[in-house]
A and B are shown apart, each in its own frame.
Chain A
Amino acid sequence: MRRLLIANRGEIACRIIRTAAERGIETVAVYTDADVCAPHVAEATQAVRIGSGPVGDSYLDADKVLAAAVQSGADAVHPGYGFLSENADFAAAVGAAGLIWVGPPPEAIRAMGNKAEAKRLMIAAGVPCVPGYEGADQSDPVLIAEGEKIGFPLMVKAAAGGGGRGMRLVDRATDLPGAIQLARDEAQNAFGSGELILERAILGPRHVEVQVFADTHGTTVHLGERDCSVQRRHQKVLEEAPCPVLSDAERDAMGAAAVQAAEAIGYVGAGTVEFLRDASGDFYFLEMNTRLQVEHPVTEAVTGLDLVALQLDAAIGKPLGFTQNDVTVTGHAIEARLYAEDPADGFKPSTGKLSRWIALGGAGIRVDSGVVEGIEISPFYDPMLAKIIAHGATREEARNRLARGLRDLSALGITTNRDFLIALVKDETFAAGQATTALIGDTFPDGFGVQADDTDRNTAAQVWCQAAAKTAMANAAWVPAELMGWSSSATAQTRVPFADGAMLVTPGKDPALPYALTEDALWLTRGDKTLRFALETFGVASLAAPDRITAPMAGAITAVYVSPGDIVAPGDPVAVIEAMKMQQALSATMDGRVTEVAVATGAQVPAGALIVKLEAPDATS
């Protein structure tokens, strides 16, 4: 392998580039117009444009990605995660083009790609599965009957699904037919297949997954488990290794089951077998992800392995070189996913310019980021900005480190979940290792937001002064530094134009906090809080008296469209005036009723003459 194309973007592309670079392998990035300034483009040896922005005509377009590989002379393709990583046809096409596919064989991908088929395979291989129905007969009566057999609550899932789409929790039998219909429609739209499976709902489960790795020489090992229970809407937020509640016996059993699952489908490379673990300690196969996972760094931290390096080796047929007995787990690692989203507003993705980006890192902290300061976060892609991974000798050390790493991080200019992550990491239930998938919903039922207190406001005002002073200095001719901030009298203060109440302050010491000053807001990182202060903005002052429509110039009235009593809305034409052979329509600028028409068609009027008088609609009612 000499030149590796990375069919991905963001942090994972950067992460793969790093390992490839260590190996002396050249890298090829693919990018869109929206990603021209993205770091993966800069970090790769070369880059190929594959589209404008939308994923459909770029990162998800197998033909374009493959063409980029051929055009750039790449001899291998790494798909990362998401996008084409679990597209068996793409994997096959890469192989057919004579390139090395850094991933499992297409057949393995295909086998796990359909939840129903995967489950049938796993049951056959003796892997514990959630009791349910994964049959081929998808008729409503059969699904309903099977559902009643399983009992409630149960989950209706798209067989081809992932990411929570096409998934429904059903509490009562009467809700089942509707849920089936909705899930089927959603699945059809999202995945092109309406096939469903039914499963007993495991309530408040822990999400525990096992990292497996297989080479082409028949060795399959597991690299321990990860607990990814802290989720919101089936999106993982915090992930850790090892799982804080697993006994060694459970760990061995789960690991063995995972290896069994991988071997059952002839797996090669890095894969993850996901399990749900209920309160009693029973666990059930959920699905297998036939790719590198977002959260793979926690496994890397505790095992000391480079999973991407292992992937590259496996792809060229090198034997793994170690066995299950060689795998050790040292300490504890926790990863937090930083998203551009608003936890106070239903986790709505946010877009815009990342005006300030600081991720200090430090001892025991790894930051895998796909952003740089000043980058534009577009609406086209996953809103994950970075992953912060803390490693410590104990879970508590890792957790405290993660809190510190998040505090040391500033992402300003767009709303992120940074403060929420800090709150989660400090949450008592999580601290106790007792988090289940229900944690976020139970603890933060109304979302999460921070409020600025007086100290925050005063600090922000000082920060604004400092920031504004820098701008002012840049705009002016050179001023001796010793004159900056100086006033000969007590009168000079600075008005800080916060939109929710301007402040008059005497500029003092620079609080020296990370900030970003944008057109309409001041952003600030202060301890656990990321603060945004909207700034005063002004438009054009509106004129009162829109009730009088007057002639803008002297001219002849060539048409009158309204009569007294007519109701008009802003923009409705009321008359036309002609002057110097130019016709100009006169329009209403308010909602109202015509009370007077002062001119008739053909009238010659001077500038400023009243044409039509209106009154507000509520004036008479």
Chain B
Amino acid sequence: MTFEPQITKAHPDYAQNRMGMLQLVDKMRGLEARATAASEKRRPVFDKRGQLSPRERLAALLDPGMPWLELFNLASYMVDDPNPDTSVPGGSMITGIGYVSGARCFIFIDDSGINAGAMTEKSVEKALAAVAVAQRQKLPFIHLVESAGANLMAYTVELWAHGGGMFAGLAKLSASGIPVITVLHGASTAGGAYQPGLSDYVVGVKDNGMAMLAGAALVKAATGEEARDTELGGAEMHATTTGLVDYLAENDAHGIAIAREIVGRLNWDHAGGRSRAYDHPRHDTDHLAGVVPLDHTQPYDAREVVARIADNSDFTEFKPGYGPATVCLHTRLMGHDVQILANNGPIDPDGATKATHFLQLAQHTGTPVIFLNNTTGYMVGAASEHAGMIKHGSKMIQAVTNITVPKLSLYIGASFGAGNYGMCGYAYGADFLFTWPNAKTGVMGGAQAAGTMEAVARAGAARKGAPVDEDRLAKQSAQITTHFDRQSDAFYTSGRMLDMGMIDPRDTRRVLGFCLDTCAEGRRRELSPNTFGIARP
């Protein structure tokens, strides 16, 4: 069935929607550019050492012209540095999925231009999340290392404890039969030294590449021994003395060329994806930026979005007349059969049972599910409670949790309360979860929270028979609204890694298509696991 969009370029709201959305996209691109600029400040050091910058390393590593999906692009934003105008996103690392020598790989690059690649508060979480994606999608894991390690001034015991998970993750990757390839471009000190130790392949760049448990300064402090860093852990030493380095490279470009060769000879089956014939959407995917109102309290029809991302802009709607605010569509995206679960408002009991049915059908045929989040939550009120909202909502949460088909979740508007859970929010194991820059997520909206607290205060005052201090109440309401709204903003939540990255809404179809291919390839891939991972000599 084809759907004729109502919000087209001719619609009175389109231009304003689009202008607002593109401003937010510009803000996102500005933050990405901020990380690039921050990293570029170290250019003189890279030049002096004859190194490539981290972004040049990425540019040299990736297959030219092949797609690249960056993940966790805003991680750490407003975390270490709460100032939105100075905070640098990325967590001192660049992560994503791209092609190397024809193989889809997970790429992890220390952004050594920023704080010499030292970890930030979110770095450990980002690293763990990166390993988890590689593990789940069975992607060779390539790490271009150059990190000063942890900033001792910002040390927290938790970071150290959680950081161990990275190495456990590498050990698991190796044991699963997922190759881990490391290029030592610079220092890999202290805990970082286990990165090459736990890799299946290690390339070391002469003069700059280093791995050691303790650098010269710490050794001097600990034992009084005077040693140069290159003696303690230079790539050449590791290539000849310890065998930690498998391939010695003359420089960064050479090291990356070797890494590409290694991937090219992995016996990694590239032939997973068969070419599929499909139709492009009949409605321009670029128009997505103008279709959605920025104010999440303004409702809109999720099918407007689907018409811009689905092949041929057509779909088959499941139970359109039952629980109609919960939209269930069978469609195709870049030739993949998919089921789309979307919201045209709160999820009511009928919507929840319909969604549950729909998710079980997806599991029944192994069809990937795309969740387009735009809900203020499960319906409240007596009627809803009496109709069994709790048990129907619970069913939906059970279904979304336990289906094993690929789950791709997108925050495209509001995603509040338990509705977020039912719609495959942060905690629900999506294969991929992205946010549009306009999205709002949280337990509830600021206004609702303020209103709730106001009602509680008024009820309390009435119980005590005390007068209501209207000024104080107004101030409190304002505070609560700010407190909630600040945290529900997509830039804030993305900085806190409550998703896998923020995307330009106009990229939605490409992101979903890329992720569907990634999931399909990963699920098709048969690995050759072993028990303990590959041990170095």
Instruction: Enumerate chain A interface residues (CB-CB to B < 8 A).
Output: 464-466, 468-470, 472-473, 475-480, 482-495, 497, 502, 504, 507, 536, 538, 541-545, 608
Q: A475-B270, A477-B270, A541-B248 known; A492 and B334 CB under 8 Å?
A: no
Q: A465-B65, A483-B514 known; A491 and B58 CB under 8 Å?
A: yes
Q: A489-B96, A497-B253, A502-B253 known; A480 and B503 CB under 8 Å?
A: no
Docked Cα-Cα span, A490 to B275, in Å, equals 28
**A475 pairs with B32, CB closer than 8 A:** no
The chain B residue with its CB closest to the CB of A538 is B254
The chain B residue with its CB closest to the CB of A487 is B68
Closest beta carbon of chain A to B26's beta carbon, Å: 11
Q: Which of A476, A480, A489, A494: most chain B Cβ within 10 A? A: A489
**B101 pairs with A475, CB closer than 8 A:** yes
**A491 pairs with B206, CB closer than 8 A:** no
**A473 pairs with B65, CB closer than 8 A:** yes
Instruction: Enumerate chain B interface residues (CB-CB to A < 8 A).
Output: 29, 32-33, 36, 52, 55-56, 58-60, 62-70, 73, 94, 96, 98-99, 101-104, 206, 236, 239-241, 247-250, 253-254, 257-258, 264, 270-276, 278, 280, 334-335, 501, 503-504, 507, 509-511, 513-514, 517, 521
CB-CB under 8 A from A477, the residues of chain B are 102, 104, 270-273, 521
Docked Cα-Cα span, A543 to B239, in Å, equals 9
Closest beta carbon of chain B to A510's beta carbon, Å: 10
Residues of B contacting A: mostly: mixed
The chain A residue with its CB closest to the CB of B285 is A482
**A488 pairs with B511, CB closer than 8 A:** yes
| Count of CB-CB pairs between chains A and B under 8 Å | 154
The chain A residue with its CB closest to the CB of B66 is A472
**A482 pairs with B275, CB closer than 8 A:** no
CB-CB under 8 A from B501, the residues of chain A are 488
Q: Which of A480, A488, A608: most chain B Cβ within 10 A? A: A488
Docked Cα-Cα span, A504 to B73, in Å, equals 21
Closest beta carbon of chain B to A248's beta carbon, Å: 62
**A490 pairs with B32, CB closer than 8 A:** yes
The chain B residue with its CB closest to the CB of A476 is B102
Docked Cα-Cα span, A507 to B154, in Å, equals 40
CB-CB under 8 A from B52, the residues of chain A are 495
**A494 pairs with B64, CB closer than 8 A:** yes
CB-CB under 8 A from A485, the residues of chain B are 65, 67
Query: Which are the 6 A-B pairs with shortest beta-carbon distances?
Result: A469-B65, A475-B102, A472-B63, A489-B70, A477-B273, A468-B64
Docked Cα-Cα span, A482 to B509, in Å, equals 10
**A492 pairs with B253, CB closer than 8 A:** no
CB-CB under 8 A from A541, the residues of chain B are 206, 247-250, 254
Q: Which of A464, A480, A494: most chain B Cβ within 10 A? A: A480
Closest beta carbon of chain A to B299's beta carbon, Å: 28
Q: List 7 A-B contacts (CB under 8 A).
A: A464-B64, A468-B64, A488-B504, A493-B59, A495-B59, A502-B253, A608-B241
CB-CB under 8 A from A495, the residues of chain B are 52, 56, 59-60, 253
**B513 pairs with A480, CB closer than 8 A:** yes
**B67 pairs with A484, CB closer than 8 A:** yes
Closest beta carbon of chain A to B13's beta carbon, Å: 27
**A491 pairs with B36, CB closer than 8 A:** yes
**B99 pairs with A507, CB closer than 8 A:** no
Docked Cα-Cα span, A489 to B94, in Å, equals 11
**B60 pairs with A466, CB closer than 8 A:** no
Closest beta carbon of chain B to A464's beta carbon, Å: 8
Known: A476-B270, A504-B55. 12 other contacts (CB 8 A): A469-B65, A479-B66, A483-B513, A484-B65, A485-B65, A487-B69, A488-B69, A488-B503, A490-B36, A491-B36, A492-B62, A492-B98
Docked Cα-Cα span, A542 to B52, in Å, equals 20
**A536 pairs with B32, CB closer than 8 A:** no
Docked Cα-Cα span, A470 to B65, in Å, equals 8
**B73 pairs with A489, CB closer than 8 A:** yes
Closest beta carbon of chain A to B424's beta carbon, Å: 20
**B253 pairs with A472, CB closer than 8 A:** no
- Which residue in B58, B66, B73, B257 is a CB contact (below 8 Å) of A484? B66
**B68 pairs with A492, CB closer than 8 A:** yes
